[in-house]
Structure 1
Amino acid sequence: MRMVEDNHDKFSILLPTYNERENLPIIVWLIISYMEKRGYSFEIIVIDDGSPDGTQEAARQLERIYGSEKIVLRPRERKLGLGTAYVHGIKHATGNYIVIMDADLSHHPKFIPQFIEKQRSRDFDVVSGTRYAEGGGVFGWDFKRKLISRGANFLSQLLLRPGASDLTGSFRLYKKEVLEKLVASCVSKGYVFQMEMIIRARQHGFTVGEVPITFVDRLYGESKLGGSEIFQFVKSLLYLFATT
């Protein structure tokens, strides 16, 4: 049975984009399908970092189709990084819960209702999607990419003991005020930002729930993980180890 106050919950789904013209219409359609089926109140905030491929034009078309209450466009002039994209998105979010996810179809919107149910089950401050719990997994990665991801997660667990099984994932649900506090206390950028968010959540004493998810490698466009990201990750991991 649903609690009455659940009817007042609104979910702001932040979609940071860069060159996601092919993926954006599909991910938006899927989000709307799953959220409307459950009767959730929601908005999708598209934060595009000046994509040269026409992502913003695709977003404007989606706004015309679904309406400006459902699709909220908050673009930026150039690529400024994930952490600042969330700060930008939070400023414009009208929901009391915020979902962050990738726009490249690697995160399936079918998991969002599971995140919401998990959050409500014990009033979690954060619900994190995990690829490493039973029922979760990764599809479409070669051995090298899986090894890097597993290795990064193993190292993080060893050094930081975060109390969560998937530190580097970027599919999560936060209470809005919790996310604001975490973003304000984070110093990392890029790939490491997600990891620091969970570490800071533990520091602040916030509760973290987990939902097993399947991660599918992007269908269109190129992956943004390269050698410099891996170097940055190790450097930032050691910084977090030394300071938390």
Structure 2
Amino acid sequence: MSNILVIIPTYNEQDTIIPLVNKLFSLHLNLDILAVDDGGDKTASLIEQKQLAFPNLYLIKRQSKAGRGSAVLAGLQFGLQRDYQFFVEMDADFSHQPEELPELLKLAVPNSVVIGSRYVEGSKIKNWPISRRVFSRLANFYAELILKIGIHDYTNGYRVYSREAVQKIDFLKIKSSGYIVLSEIAYQLFKKGVKFFEHKTLFINRSRGQSSFSLNEVKESFLSVLRIKKDFR
């Protein structure tokens, strides 16, 4: 078993999941991959076929769409039951570039979280309309204004967690299930002394698969940020 677990939440990702799995394994990082699938299409069956050739490919099948955030939490708990030292979360649609993973892992140290940040020098965003960029910027500015972790990107789900960091997560206190879980985990770990590092990234808005991103979900996150601040004082 590897000491790295890559957690990939999936929902309607049958067109992208196998190419992503192939690309990750081609990096020769000695990693394991866990897909947490919420159904919707043939994603799970494709993974099950792929498992015949790759015993280090794992699958959690869930009965309905429970949210990206809860999928990541399920993956982190899966990994804690084993001996992984680093946990990666990334999207299934190539919006996060697998080629960047070696650089993110270089920054990973005990008691840390490494974020592929869209808003640090050298980062690029492609295929996003201006309105989406503005909204994302405002959401992240607001999160930093309230939570004050000292990071630029609270909402990009391309992260590497050390085992020590994941062990500090109080899973029972997390109330969100969607993208706001990213902020909830970050603030909880920040309050417990975990270090954060950011690395430049190329974010490409998905051109394959079906979008699982909800603008309403992000709008609701503005209120959730205030709750997070209150819950984890």
Fold in common (TM above 0.5): yes
Letter in 2 for 1:126: V
Q: CA deviation at 1:63?
A: 1.3
Paired residue for 2:190? 202
Paired residue for 1:13? 6
**Match status 1:92 vs 2:78:** yes
**Match status 1:81 vs 2:67:** yes
Aligned residue for 1:191, secondary structure, equals coil
Q: CA deviation at 1:84?
A: 2.7
Q: Deviations over 1:185-240 (max 9, x none)?
A: 43322121101221112100111111111111112133233342133111202222
> Hey, what's the Cα distance between the residues in 1 that align with 2:147 and 2:220?
17
Identity of aligned residues (%): 29
Q: CA RMSD in A?
A: 1.9
> Hey, what's the Cα distance between the residues in 1 that align with 2:153 and 2:161?
16
Letter in 1 for 2:123: G
**Comparing both structures, which one devotes a greater share of its residues to helix?**
1
Paired residue for 1:71? 57
Per the normalisation by structure 1, the TM-score is 0.86
Paired residue for 2:104? 115
CA contact (8 A) 2:168 2:189 kept: no
Aligned residue for 1:78, secondary structure, equals coil
Q: Structure 2: which 5+ runs fail to align?
A: none
Residue from 126, 136, 141 that aligns with 1:154: 141
Q: Structure 1: which 5+ runs fail to align?
A: 1-7
Paired residue for 1:4? none
CA contact (8 A) 1:87 1:183 kept: no
CA contact (8 A) 1:15 1:102 kept: yes
Q: CA deviation at 1:110?
A: 1.0
**Match status 1:138 vs 2:130:** no
> Hey, what's the Cα distance between the residues in 1 that align with 2:50 and 2:94?
17
> Hey, what's the Cα distance between the residues in 2 that align with 1:196 and 1:163?
15
Paired residue for 2:178? 190
Residue from 200, 204, 218 that aligns with 1:212: 200
Aligned residue for 2:169, secondary structure, equals helix
Q: Report runs of 4+ in structure 1 exceeding 6 Å deviation.
A: none
CA contact (8 A) 1:18 1:48 kept: yes
Letter in 1 for 2:154: L
Q: CA deviation at 1:115?
A: 1.2
Paired residue for 2:48? 60
